[in-house]
Amino acid sequence: MPESKTIDMTDGNPVRLMVRFSLPLLLVNTLQLMFTVVDAAVLGRVLGVSAFAAVGASASPHWIILSAILGFTQGFGILFAQRFGAKDHAGLRSAVRTSIVISAVLSALVAVGYPLLCRNLLELLRTPAELMDDAAIYLIVYFAGAPITFAFNLGGTLLRALGDSKTPLRAAILATLLNIALDIALVYPFGVAGVSVATLLSQAAACVYCFPALRRTGYIGGDGWRWDTPTAKELMRLGFPPALRNVVIEVGGLVVQWYINDYGEVFVAGIAAARRMYALLLVAGGAVEGAVATFVAQNAGARQWARVRRGVNYGLLMMLAAGAFAMAITLPFGRQILGLFIEGDAPEVVAALLDIGVRQLTLLSLGMPILSLLFVYRSSLQGVGNAIIPMLSGFVELATRMATVVLLTPHFGQWGVLLSSPAAWVTATVLLLVSYYVVASRFEKRGEA
């Protein structure tokens, strides 16, 4: 077995293992989200509400592609973890090398194709004319660097699948510090384009930092780089559904953004501020979700189904605790926190923006317990290799978001937009929860759990 700083989750106390894994991942997620928070803060304070709103208007077109990249690498990571748990090191080496080829092809398609289409997408979303140029520039520059984003996420996924969450943490610290410095240096002279360049350069630095650790695993270097068609099919079986699910969820976001843009620049900026803040507070839940997925995948690969069930139950308790902590911050202090993003505009504009942001942040926070269930059961199903149900949950979220804004907005105005995400979480969670227990009962009937 190659020497590396890995954690074998098929043996030992599940809670201790998941906490040990999730703490560095918590910091990684926090630092990665600091990219967007710092970007927003610098834009809002240096260039004002218009630049802040332009990046907010580009959020859905941005995330629809980034979430697909994350979905593919997340699915690839499930196969990495399963083969690592099964001690199939030759199979893992083949999976890693094949995933690199697939990622290179996909990233090239994004880098060439998306910049050509983004302005049309922004027009379809009825992006306000005064925001169009900055929003398009932000997207074009960022996705021209798609190979960097793919490499950044794939490298971290491999290390975490092997239980090494510390190396990605150190890389994220480096990237965040560099991103802050580059934002300050580039935003004033280059505007929103400087934000995209700063993010890409920071991710590239993180890739360079992680490369020696990736080489030490023994799974990416050496001879024998051959295309493995069966492994490629398995990678796509596990990677395509979460990518499609994420895209479908973001399409729901596009529909909502379409309605958001109708309410003007201040409403766009208020929603953008609330969602950025909420994403930052979700990092603890995201860390637990990653720990559950890796724990379940490694133990599923080792066919230890009783241990899978224990890990899911403990993960659920950890997730609910993380959600309670986030709610304790957002509900009493939401307005003060959101106020950190905006400065320099007319007081009445800032006050209106904060009113909108607080309403959105409050509703998202109250939905945290439901979202905790969604995260755990979705990652558990993915970990055991069931990619279809989590994908279908994305379609359920899409249908619910569309129904909420279409049916409620004509009667309740902005509240139709504000309620769309919590409503989508409820319906998707019902599907995932029922499906998980059906899958678990099948293991029990076979005497495997």
Q: Is the pTM of this model over 0.85?
A: no
Q: What is the CB neighbour count within 10 angstroms for residue 435?
A: 20
Task: Please tell me the predicted confidence (pLDDT) of residue 449.
Answer: 45
Provide the b/e sequence for 128-149 (b: ≥16 CB within 10 Å): beebbebbbbbbbbbbbbbbbb
Task: Please tell me the predicted confidence (pLDDT) of residue 3.
Answer: 42
Are residues 150 and 203 in contact, defined by beta-carbon separation less than 8 angstroms?
no
Residues of the chain with pLDDT under 70: 1-6, 33-37, 221-225, 341-346, 443-449
Q: What is the CB neighbour count within 10 angstroms for residue 428?
A: 28
Segments making up each domain of the chain, as ranges: 14-445
Contacts of 164 (CB under 8 A, 6+ apart): 4, 5, 6, 7, 213
Task: Please tell me the predicted confidence (pLDDT) of residue 1.
Answer: 39
Task: Please tell me the predicted confidence (pLDDT) of residue 2.
Answer: 41
Task: Please tell me the predicted confidence (pLDDT) of residue 446.
Answer: 56
